[in-house]
Chains A and B, each alone.
Chain A
Amino acid sequence: MAATLAEKVWESHVVHRGEGEPDLLYIDLHLLHEVTSPQAFDGLRQAGRPARRPDLTLATEDHNVPTTPGPITDPVSRTQVETLRRNCEEFGVTLYPMGDAEQGIVHVVGPQLGLTQPGMTIVCGDSHTSTHGAFGALAFGIGTSEVEHVLATQTLPLKPFKTMAVTVEGELAPGVTAKDIVLAVIAKIGTGGGQGYVLEYRGSAIRALSMEARMTVCNMSIEAGARAGMIAPDETTFAYVQGRDHAPTGADWDAAVAAWSELRSDDDAEFDAEVVLDAAALTPFVTWGTNPGQGSPLGEAVPDPESMGDDNDKVAARRALEYMGLTAGTPLRDIHVDTVFVGSCTNGRIEDLRAAAAVIQGRQVAEGVRMLVVPGSARVRLQAESEGLHEVFTAAGAEWRLPGCSMCLGMNPDQLAPGERSASTSNRNFEGRQGKGGRTHLVSPLVAAATAVRGTLSSPSDLEPVSEGSL
Chain B
Amino acid sequence: MDAFTTHTGIGVPLRRSNVDTDQIIPAVYLKRVTKSGFEDGLFAAWRNDKTFVLNDPTFSAGSVLVAGPDFGTGSSREHAVWALMDYGFRVVISSRFADIFRGNSGKQGLLTAQCSQDDVELLWKLLENEPGTSVTVDLVSRTVTAGDLTATFDVDDYTRWRLLEGLDDISLSLRHEGEITAFEQTRPSWRPTVTT
Binding site for B on A (CB under 8 A): 15-16, 20-22, 24, 26, 28-29, 35-36, 38-39, 42, 47, 49, 52, 54-58, 63-64, 74, 76-77, 79-80, 83, 94, 114-115, 117, 120, 125-127, 141-146, 148-149, 152-155, 157, 159, 191-192, 195-196, 222-223, 225, 227, 246-248, 252-253, 255-256, 259, 291, 312, 315-316, 319, 409-411, 428, 430-433, 436
Given contacts A64-B31, A430-B22, A152 and B174 within 8 Å (CB-CB): yes
Whether A42 contacts B35 by the Cβ 8 Å rule is yes
**Shortest Cβ gap from A438 to chain B (Å):** 11
In the docked arrangement, what's the CA distance between A141 and B98, Å? 12
**Shortest Cβ gap from A9 to chain B (Å):** 13
Whether B22 contacts A431 by the Cβ 8 Å rule is yes
Given contacts A55-B195, A76-B31, A312-B17, A144 and B45 within 8 Å (CB-CB): no
Whether A432 contacts B26 by the Cβ 8 Å rule is yes
**The 8 residue pairs across chains A and B that have the minimum distance between CB atoms:** A143-B104, A143-B78, A38-B33, A252-B190, A145-B107, A141-B76, A248-B190, A144-B78
Kindly list 15 other residue pairs between chains A and B, CB separation below 8 angstroms, not including A191-B18, A246-B194: A22-B158, A26-B183, A36-B76, A38-B32, A76-B31, A114-B192, A143-B103, A146-B107, A149-B170, A152-B170, A153-B174, A192-B96, A225-B73, A225-B99, A248-B190
Name 5 interchain pairs, CB-CB below 8 A, sorted by A: A142-B100, A192-B73, A246-B196, A312-B68, A428-B74
Whether B180 contacts A15 by the Cβ 8 Å rule is yes
User: Which of B32, B103, B176, B188 is A255 in contact with, Cβ under 8 Å?
Assistant: B188
With CB as the reference atom, state the residue of chain A lying closest to B161. A20
In the docked arrangement, what's the CA distance between A56 and B190, Å? 13
**Shortest Cβ gap from A138 to chain B (Å):** 14
In the docked arrangement, what's the CA distance between A21 and B70, Å? 25
Binary interface profile of B, 97-112, with partner A (CB < 8 Å = 1, else 0)? 0111001100110000
**Shortest Cβ gap from B123 to chain A (Å):** 16
Classify the interface of chain B: helix, strand, loop or mixed.
loop
**Shortest Cβ gap from B165 to chain A (Å):** 13
User: Which of B100, B176, B193 is A143 in contact with, Cβ under 8 Å?
Assistant: B100
Q: Which A residues touch B27, using CB under 8 A?
A: 63, 409-411, 433
List B27-47 residues whose CB lies under 8 Å from chain A.
27-28, 30-35, 45
With CB as the reference atom, state the residue of chain B lying closest to A410. B27
Q: Which A residues touch B118, using CB under 8 A?
A: none
Whether B174 contacts A145 by the Cβ 8 Å rule is no
**Shortest Cβ gap from B90 to chain A (Å):** 17
In the docked arrangement, what's the CA distance between A306 and B194, Å? 53
Whether A143 contacts B194 by the Cβ 8 Å rule is no
Whether A312 contacts B69 by the Cβ 8 Å rule is yes
In the docked arrangement, what's the CA distance between A411 and B26, Å? 9
User: Which of B28, B81, B190 is A411 in contact with, Cβ under 8 Å?
Assistant: B28
In the docked arrangement, what's the CA distance between A209 and B31, Å? 37
In the docked arrangement, what's the CA distance between A247 and B196, Å? 10
**Shortest Cβ gap from B158 to chain A (Å):** 6
B77 is an interface residue with CB less than 8 A from chain A: yes
**Shortest Cβ gap from B141 to chain A (Å):** 19
Q: Which B residues touch A77, using CB under 8 A?
A: 31
Q: For this complex, into which size category does the number of interface residues on chain B fall? A: 35 or more
Whether A94 contacts B195 by the Cβ 8 Å rule is yes
B191 is an interface residue with CB less than 8 A from chain A: yes
**Shortest Cβ gap from A431 to chain B (Å):** 6
Q: Which A residues touch B129, using CB under 8 A?
A: none
Whether A55 contacts B45 by the Cβ 8 Å rule is no
In the docked arrangement, what's the CA distance between A127 and B98, Å? 11
**Shortest Cβ gap from B188 to chain A (Å):** 7
Given contacts A42-B35, A153-B170, A192-B73, A146 and B103 within 8 Å (CB-CB): yes
Whether B31 contacts A316 by the Cβ 8 Å rule is no
In the docked arrangement, what's the CA distance between A148 and B78, Å? 12
Whether B104 contacts A246 by the Cβ 8 Å rule is no
B20 is an interface residue with CB less than 8 A from chain A: yes
Given contacts A15-B176, A259-B188, A191 and B70 within 8 Å (CB-CB): yes
With CB as the reference atom, state the residue of chain A lying closest to B34. A39
User: Which of B20, B26, B35, B180 is A39 in contact with, Cβ under 8 Å?
Assistant: B35
Q: Which B residues touch A149, using CB under 8 A?
A: 169-170, 173
B148 is an interface residue with CB less than 8 A from chain A: no
With CB as the reference atom, state the residue of chain B lying closest to A246. B192
Whether B176 contacts A16 by the Cβ 8 Å rule is yes
Q: Which A residues touch B192, using CB under 8 A?
A: 28-29, 114-115, 117, 246-248
Given contacts A36-B76, A143-B104, A436-B26, A255 and B190 within 8 Å (CB-CB): yes
Whether B34 contacts A159 by the Cβ 8 Å rule is no
Whether A227 contacts B18 by the Cβ 8 Å rule is no
**Shortest Cβ gap from A106 to chain B (Å):** 12
Whether B158 contacts A159 by the Cβ 8 Å rule is yes
**Shortest Cβ gap from A83 to chain B (Å):** 5
Q: Which B residues touch A63, using CB under 8 A?
A: 27
Most chain-A CB neighbours within 10 Å: which of B20, B31, B107, B188? B31
In the docked arrangement, what's the CA distance between A259 and B79, Å? 39
In the docked arrangement, what's the CA distance between A433 and B193, Å? 34
Whether A159 contacts B156 by the Cβ 8 Å rule is yes
With CB as the reference atom, state the residue of chain A lying closest to B192. A246
Q: Which B residues touch A36, using CB under 8 A?
A: 76-78
Q: Which B residues touch A55, using CB under 8 A?
A: 193-196
